[in-house]
């Protein structure tokens, strides 16, 4: 799994930061969390193929989070074999996507499926054999979702144990990974002895919001929490007016949710550097990083 920050600015892009977008690569999946203006160019610079995008998770429909969708879909449609793309977003997403697709003239060749989400709490909005995605409403000026990507538990083969049993590597081990015991040259190999359970990784994505219970629950025990921090602690009144988080509030969410590592993003364009934000957050939650455009995380 690899995470790439494609945009870490708030509403206005700067010379150093583009507006919001984060790309998560996992096996054959390419999940784009938000898609602000210029995201596809950022993907070029990060050497990420546009056609790797399989899902776009839209937190909300403010322009700095969605203005790059139409250009990305148009370019992806130029591929010889246009891919399938699923878009997940809050209530109103169906109408917004219809308007977006009619905003300019192009041949819509991407196989597009839109999912409008309206969760009553923390709910699963997608699931396959390897992972699932949870979503919940946050507290912003417009319907806004937070998301969590959760990798499922998997079986890891203990090759040291199998070597002692005289079992060699090969396709017969696939059943062990599926949680089933096997027969090998007349000998039963118990899956409980030959494997161990590995807990999956959890990546949470919390965008524009005030502190709320759903932000904590979506972030619970996350390996990585990516969280908006528009302001330092001294601008708490501005954060309340515009329904955003200060650095200390984002750190408190991470602390209350037992997060392993916090990555702050979505900084106001007023900040030439993020040292003050980092200091404010570190006072509450020490394992914190202020993200930069093109920063990569390997999990």
Return the pLDDT at 197. 83
Return the pLDDT at 204. 98
Return the pLDDT at 108. 76
Return the pLDDT at 261. 98
Please tell me the distance from the alpha carbon of residue 25 to that of residue 1, in angstroms, as a whole number.
Answer: 6
Please tell me the distance from the alpha carbon of residue 195 to that of residue 157, in angstroms, as a whole number.
Answer: 4
The answer to whether 178 and 248 have CB atoms below 8 angstroms apart is no
- Choosing from 34, 64, 280, 293, the catalytic residue is 64
Sign of the Cα torsion 33, 36, 42, 47 reads positive
Return the pLDDT at 67. 96
Tens-digit pLDDT string for the chain (299 aa): 999 999 999 999 999 999 999 999 999 999 999 999 999 999 999 999 999 999 999 999 999 999 999 999 999 988 777 789 999 999 999 999 999 999 888 877 889 999 999 999 999 999 999 999 999 999 999 999 999 999 998 878 888 888 888 888 888 888 887 788 888 888 888 888 888 888 899 999 999 999 999 999 999 999 999 999 999 999 999 999 999 999 999 999 999 999 999 999 999 999 999 999 999 999 999 999 999 999 999 99
CA–chain centroid gap for 225, Å, is 9
The answer to whether 8 and 267 have CB atoms below 8 angstroms apart is yes
Return the pLDDT at 196. 83
Ordered by where they begin, the domains of the chain are 2-153+199-298 (3.60.15.10), 155-196 (no CATH)
Q: Is 64 a catalytic residue?
A: yes
Please tell me the distance from the alpha carbon of residue 295 to that of residue 290, in angstroms, as a whole number.
Answer: 10
Sheet of 111-117: strand order equals 111-117, 84-90, 55-57, 29-33, 21-26, 2-7, 296-298
Return the pLDDT at 185. 82
What are the backbone angles phi and psi of residue 253, rounded to the nearest 5°? -60, -45
| Residues ≥6 apart with Cβ < 8 Å to 227 | 204, 206, 219, 245, 250, 253, 254, 262, 263, 264, 265
Return the pLDDT at 42. 98
């Amino acid at each position: 799994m690899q995470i790439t920050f494609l945009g870490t600015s708030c509403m206005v892009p700067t010379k150093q930061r583009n507006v919001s977008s984060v790309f998560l690569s996992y096996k054959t999946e390419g999940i784009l969390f938000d898609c602000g203006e210029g995201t596809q160019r950022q993907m070029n610079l990060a050497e990420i193929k546009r056609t790797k995008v399989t899902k776009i998770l839209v937190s909300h429909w403010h322009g700095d989070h969605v203005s790059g969708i139409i250009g990305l879909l148009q370019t992806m449609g130029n591929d010889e074999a246009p891919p399938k793309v699923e878009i997940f977003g809050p209530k109103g997403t169906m109408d917004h996507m219809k308007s977006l697709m009619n905003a300019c003239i192009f041949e819509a060749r991407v196989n597009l499926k839109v999912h409008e989400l309206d969760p009553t709490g923390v709910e699963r909005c997608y699931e396959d054999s390897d992972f699932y995605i949870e979503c919940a409403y946050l507290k912003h000026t417009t319907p806004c979702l937070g998301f969590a990507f959760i990798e499922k538990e998997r079986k890891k083969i203990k090759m040291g144990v199998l070597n002692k049993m005289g079992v060699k590597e090969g396709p017969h081990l696939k059943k062990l990974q599926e949680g089933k015991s096997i027969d090998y040259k007349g000998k039963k190999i118990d899956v409980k002895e030959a494997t161990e359970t590995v807990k999956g990784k959890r990546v949470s994505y919390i965008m524009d919001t005030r502190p709320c219970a759903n932000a904590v629950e979506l972030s619970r025990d996350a390996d990585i929490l990516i969280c908006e921090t528009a302001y330092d602690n001294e601008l708490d009144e501005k954060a309340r007016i515009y329904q955003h988080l200060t650095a200390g509030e984002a750190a408190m969410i991470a602390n209350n949710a037992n997060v392993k590592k916090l990555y702050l993003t979505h900084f106001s364009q007023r900040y030439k550097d993020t040292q003050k934000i980092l200091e404010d957050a570190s006072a509450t939650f020490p394992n914190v990083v202020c993200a930069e455009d093109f920063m990569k995380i390997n999990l």
